[in-house]
Amino acid sequence: MLLAGSLLPGLAQALEVSVAGVFPGKAILVVENGPPRTVAVGQKSPEGIKVLAVESDRAMLEIDGKRRSVRIGQQTSVSGDSGGTSVTLNADLRGHFIAGGAINGTSVRFMVDTGATNLVMGPGEARRLGIDPSRGEAGYAQTANGAVRTFRLKLDTVRIGDVTVHNVDAEVTATDMPFILLGMSVLNRFEMQRDGDKMTLKKRF
């Protein structure tokens, strides 16, 4: 299975967790809209989520020391310290940095793109997030793959891990994309440090 890069576990990180299924002694977890992971009772997922017990329709999870009973199909958000200021990302096998987070409170997946002027998403993601592109200003966005036609608008909140920024410039393209591009309208608010296959984003303001 090819896995995208993920957020490192830690107390300052918020996680969106759902239970996709259970069977004797194991639970199937989905973290930050990532790939399903089968985790045995008493074991932890790579994100640090421990499965304490399973029942017919739910799993008891421990996340950063907090216990949650989560039904199959239910999603729960668990935060550690309120208000993180940094997040560390791991590169995937193609060298891309993928991050879980949220836009206006709805969970999404980002791909870091320093070649993108703003945060960029496709129309499918915009609909899922309740965003009407036609309310934006028509224009073009610069991405690593060149210029694309877009509608420009503002997002109230963007969260990467447990770090939140507000009033973010974003653009919706005419065609769908595999990820929401985390462009410079967000990245300019962070100090970026790269060490091999790790990237740390530290909030400036």
DSSP-derived 3-state class of residue 127: helix
Q: Is residue 8 part of a domain?
A: no
Q: Is residue 146 part of a domain?
A: yes
Could you tell me which residues are beta bridge partners of residue 182?
112
Query: Cβ of 98: how many Cβ atoms within 10 Å?
Result: 22
Residues near 28 by beta carbon (within 8 Å), at least 6 away in sequence: 19, 20, 21, 22, 36, 37, 38, 39
Q: Is residue 7 part of a domain?
A: no
Q: How far is CA 151 from CA 107, 118, 166, 171, in A?
A: 22, 11, 19, 5
**Residues 67 and 104 both lie in one domain:** no
Q: Which CATH number fits the domain that encloses residue 54?
A: 2.30.30.830
Cα distance between residue 161 and residue 102, in whole Å: 8
**Residues 92 and 57 both lie in one domain:** no
Last residue of a domain, one of 47, 78, 109: 78
Q: Is residue 79 very low, low, confident or very high in pLDDT (cuts 50, 70, 90)?
A: low
- Tokens 């496709």, located at residue: 122
**Residues 191 and 100 both lie in one domain:** yes
87-113: per-residue pLDDT in tens?
999 898 899 999 988 898 788 999 999
29-78: per-residue pLDDT in tens?
988 777 899 999 999 887 778 899 998 888 988 876 677 888 898 877 65
Residues near 188 by beta carbon (within 8 Å), at least 6 away in sequence: none
Could you tell me which residues are beta bridge partners of residue 77?
16
Q: Which structural domain range is residue 23 located in?
A: 15-78
**Residues 61 and 92 both lie in one domain:** no
Q: Is residue 6 part of a domain?
A: no
Last residue of a domain, one of 25, 45, 78: 78
- Tokens 């960029």, located at residue: 120
Last residue of a domain, one of 62, 78, 94: 78
Number of structural domains the chain divides into: 2
Cα distance between residue 124 and residue 58, in whole Å: 31
Q: Which CATH number fits the domain that encloses residue 185?
A: 2.40.70.10
Q: Is residue 49 part of a domain?
A: yes
